[in-house]
Amino acid sequence: MPLAPYQRAVFTASAWSVRPLLVAVALTALIMWVGVERYADGHDITLIGFAGWYSMIGLVFPLFIAAPAYTRVQIDGSGVTVRVPMLPVLSRTVPYEGIRFAEVGSESPPGRYRLSDTDSGWGVVTGKGPVLVVSLADSRSFVYSTREAETAARLINGWLNRQRGGAASC
Protein backbone atom coordinates (compact mmCIF):
# COMPACT_ATOMS: atom_id res chain seq x y z
CA MET A 1 0.00 0.00 0.00
CA PRO A 2 1.68 3.23 -1.09
CA LEU A 3 1.80 5.89 1.61
CA ALA A 4 2.58 9.56 1.23
CA PRO A 5 5.50 10.84 3.35
CA TYR A 6 3.09 12.34 5.91
CA GLN A 7 0.88 9.24 6.18
CA ARG A 8 1.40 6.46 8.71
CA ALA A 9 -0.01 2.96 9.14
CA VAL A 10 -0.70 1.13 12.39
CA PHE A 11 -1.16 -2.61 12.79
CA THR A 12 -2.53 -4.40 15.84
CA ALA A 13 -3.20 -8.07 16.52
CA SER A 14 -3.81 -10.15 19.59
CA ALA A 15 -3.00 -13.70 20.63
CA TRP A 16 -4.27 -16.13 23.25
CA SER A 17 -1.97 -18.73 24.73
CA VAL A 18 -3.69 -21.69 26.35
CA ARG A 19 -0.69 -22.96 28.33
CA PRO A 20 -0.61 -20.17 30.98
CA LEU A 21 -4.36 -20.51 31.46
CA LEU A 22 -4.11 -24.26 32.00
CA VAL A 23 -1.24 -23.85 34.46
CA ALA A 24 -3.20 -21.19 36.38
CA VAL A 25 -6.33 -23.37 36.52
CA ALA A 26 -4.34 -26.39 37.71
CA LEU A 27 -2.57 -24.32 40.36
CA THR A 28 -5.85 -22.82 41.55
CA ALA A 29 -7.42 -26.30 41.79
CA LEU A 30 -4.42 -27.55 43.78
CA ILE A 31 -4.58 -24.59 46.16
CA MET A 32 -8.30 -25.06 46.66
CA TRP A 33 -7.86 -28.80 47.25
CA VAL A 34 -5.17 -28.14 49.87
CA GLY A 35 -7.44 -25.54 51.51
CA VAL A 36 -10.37 -27.96 51.67
CA GLU A 37 -8.09 -30.67 53.12
CA ARG A 38 -6.79 -28.26 55.77
CA TYR A 39 -10.36 -27.26 56.63
CA ALA A 40 -11.42 -30.90 56.88
CA ASP A 41 -8.52 -31.54 59.27
CA GLY A 42 -9.74 -28.73 61.52
CA HIS A 43 -6.92 -26.27 60.80
CA ASP A 44 -7.53 -22.55 60.98
CA ILE A 45 -8.12 -21.20 57.46
CA THR A 46 -9.63 -17.86 58.36
CA LEU A 47 -8.31 -14.83 56.52
CA ILE A 48 -6.42 -13.74 59.62
CA GLY A 49 -5.04 -17.19 60.33
CA PHE A 50 -1.54 -18.15 59.21
CA ALA A 51 -2.85 -20.61 56.61
CA GLY A 52 -5.36 -18.01 55.42
CA TRP A 53 -2.62 -15.63 54.30
CA TYR A 54 -0.94 -18.39 52.36
CA SER A 55 -4.28 -19.28 50.78
CA MET A 56 -4.86 -15.67 49.74
CA ILE A 57 -1.36 -15.38 48.26
CA GLY A 58 -1.85 -18.76 46.62
CA LEU A 59 -5.09 -17.65 44.97
CA VAL A 60 -3.58 -14.38 43.70
CA PHE A 61 -0.43 -16.03 42.30
CA PRO A 62 -2.31 -17.89 39.51
CA LEU A 63 -3.57 -14.52 38.25
CA PHE A 64 0.03 -13.50 37.56
CA ILE A 65 0.60 -16.79 35.74
CA ALA A 66 -2.55 -16.34 33.64
CA ALA A 67 -1.92 -12.65 32.82
CA PRO A 68 0.39 -13.28 29.82
CA ALA A 69 -2.19 -15.61 28.25
CA TYR A 70 -3.59 -12.64 26.31
CA THR A 71 -1.19 -10.31 24.50
CA ARG A 72 -1.43 -7.59 21.87
CA VAL A 73 1.18 -6.55 19.33
CA GLN A 74 1.18 -3.08 17.82
CA ILE A 75 3.34 -1.90 14.95
CA ASP A 76 3.51 1.86 14.50
CA GLY A 77 6.03 4.68 14.14
CA SER A 78 7.73 3.87 17.44
CA GLY A 79 8.48 0.24 16.54
CA VAL A 80 7.00 -3.10 17.55
CA THR A 81 5.25 -3.14 20.93
CA VAL A 82 3.95 -6.17 22.79
CA ARG A 83 1.44 -5.41 25.52
CA VAL A 84 0.11 -7.64 28.28
CA PRO A 85 -3.12 -5.84 29.19
CA MET A 86 -3.44 -7.54 32.60
CA LEU A 87 0.19 -6.75 33.55
CA PRO A 88 1.33 -3.58 31.76
CA VAL A 89 4.74 -3.83 33.42
CA LEU A 90 5.53 -6.74 31.06
CA SER A 91 4.98 -4.59 27.95
CA ARG A 92 8.00 -4.14 25.69
CA THR A 93 8.84 -2.06 22.63
CA VAL A 94 11.52 -2.73 20.04
CA PRO A 95 12.38 0.50 18.21
CA TYR A 96 13.15 0.27 14.50
CA GLU A 97 16.82 1.00 15.24
CA GLY A 98 16.96 -2.42 16.93
CA ILE A 99 15.42 -4.29 13.96
CA ARG A 100 17.21 -5.64 10.89
CA PHE A 101 14.21 -7.05 8.97
CA ALA A 102 10.97 -9.00 9.42
CA GLU A 103 9.75 -12.19 7.78
CA VAL A 104 7.00 -14.76 8.06
CA GLY A 105 7.62 -18.26 9.34
CA SER A 106 5.30 -21.22 9.00
CA GLU A 107 6.23 -22.06 12.59
CA SER A 108 8.39 -20.67 15.34
CA PRO A 109 12.17 -20.92 14.79
CA PRO A 110 14.05 -23.28 17.13
CA GLY A 111 14.50 -21.93 20.63
CA ARG A 112 12.42 -20.73 23.55
CA TYR A 113 10.50 -17.50 23.22
CA ARG A 114 8.96 -15.81 26.25
CA LEU A 115 8.23 -12.26 27.25
CA SER A 116 11.56 -12.26 29.07
CA ASP A 117 14.85 -12.45 27.18
CA THR A 118 16.34 -15.82 26.30
CA ASP A 119 19.38 -16.77 24.23
CA SER A 120 17.10 -17.21 21.20
CA GLY A 121 15.29 -13.92 21.71
CA TRP A 122 11.85 -13.19 23.07
CA GLY A 123 8.23 -13.17 22.01
CA VAL A 124 4.85 -14.83 22.26
CA VAL A 125 4.41 -18.22 20.61
CA THR A 126 0.97 -19.76 21.02
CA GLY A 127 1.47 -22.94 19.05
CA LYS A 128 1.64 -23.99 15.45
CA GLY A 129 0.80 -21.65 12.63
CA PRO A 130 2.23 -18.57 11.00
CA VAL A 131 4.54 -16.40 13.07
CA LEU A 132 6.04 -12.98 12.63
CA VAL A 133 9.82 -13.35 12.97
CA VAL A 134 11.67 -10.08 13.50
CA SER A 135 15.45 -10.29 13.20
CA LEU A 136 16.91 -8.03 15.89
CA ALA A 137 20.16 -6.08 15.70
CA ASP A 138 21.67 -8.26 18.48
CA SER A 139 21.33 -11.40 16.26
CA ARG A 140 18.37 -12.73 18.21
CA SER A 141 14.73 -12.86 17.16
CA PHE A 142 11.41 -11.49 18.28
CA VAL A 143 8.63 -13.97 17.46
CA TYR A 144 4.87 -13.39 17.64
CA SER A 145 2.16 -15.85 16.62
CA THR A 146 -0.49 -14.24 14.45
CA ARG A 147 -2.50 -15.20 11.42
CA GLU A 148 -1.69 -11.76 10.00
CA ALA A 149 2.08 -12.34 10.11
CA GLU A 150 2.55 -11.47 6.43
CA THR A 151 0.84 -8.09 6.81
CA ALA A 152 2.85 -7.34 9.94
CA ALA A 153 6.16 -8.27 8.29
CA ARG A 154 5.40 -6.09 5.26
CA LEU A 155 4.55 -3.14 7.47
CA ILE A 156 7.74 -3.49 9.53
CA ASN A 157 9.88 -3.81 6.40
CA GLY A 158 8.07 -0.78 4.93
CA TRP A 159 8.85 1.29 8.02
CA LEU A 160 12.48 0.16 7.88
CA ASN A 161 12.66 1.01 4.19
CA ARG A 162 11.32 4.50 4.86
CA GLN A 163 13.68 5.15 7.75
CA ARG A 164 16.67 3.93 5.76
CA GLY A 165 15.85 6.26 2.89
CA GLY A 166 14.11 3.83 0.53
CA ALA A 167 10.91 4.31 -1.42
CA ALA A 168 7.92 5.73 0.44
CA SER A 169 5.74 2.62 0.36
CA CYS A 170 4.71 -0.10 2.75
> What SS3 class is residue 116?
coil
The dihedrals phi and psi of 86, each to the nearest 5 degrees, come to -80, -20
**Structural domain containing residue 19:** 1-170
Choice between 20 and 150, residue whose per-residue pLDDT is larger: 150
* pLDDT score at 122: 82
State the pLDDT at residue 95: 93
- CATH classification of the domain holding 129: 2.30.29.30
Which pLDDT value is given to residue 110? 73
Q: How many structural domains is the chain composed of?
A: 1
pLDDT, tens digit (0-9, with 9 covering 90-100), for 88-128? 888 889 999 999 999 998 877 777 666 667 777 888 877 77
Q: 19-74 pLDDT, tens per residue?
A: 888 888 888 888 777 766 666 666 555 544 555 566 667 777 888 888 878 889 99
Contacts of 136 by beta carbon, 8 Å cutoff, 6+ apart: 94, 98, 99, 100, 121, 142
Per-residue pLDDT, 68:
79
> What Rg, from alpha-carbon coordinates, does the chain have?
21
**String of DSSP letters for 20-66:** HHHHHHHHHHHHHHHHHHHHHTT---STTSHHHHHHHHHHHHHHHHH
Ranges of beta strands (E only) in the chain are 11-16, 70-76, 79-83, 92-94, 99-105, 121-124, 131-136, 141-145
pLDDT of residue 75: 92
Q: What would the mean pLDDT of 127-153 be, rounded to a whole number? A: 89
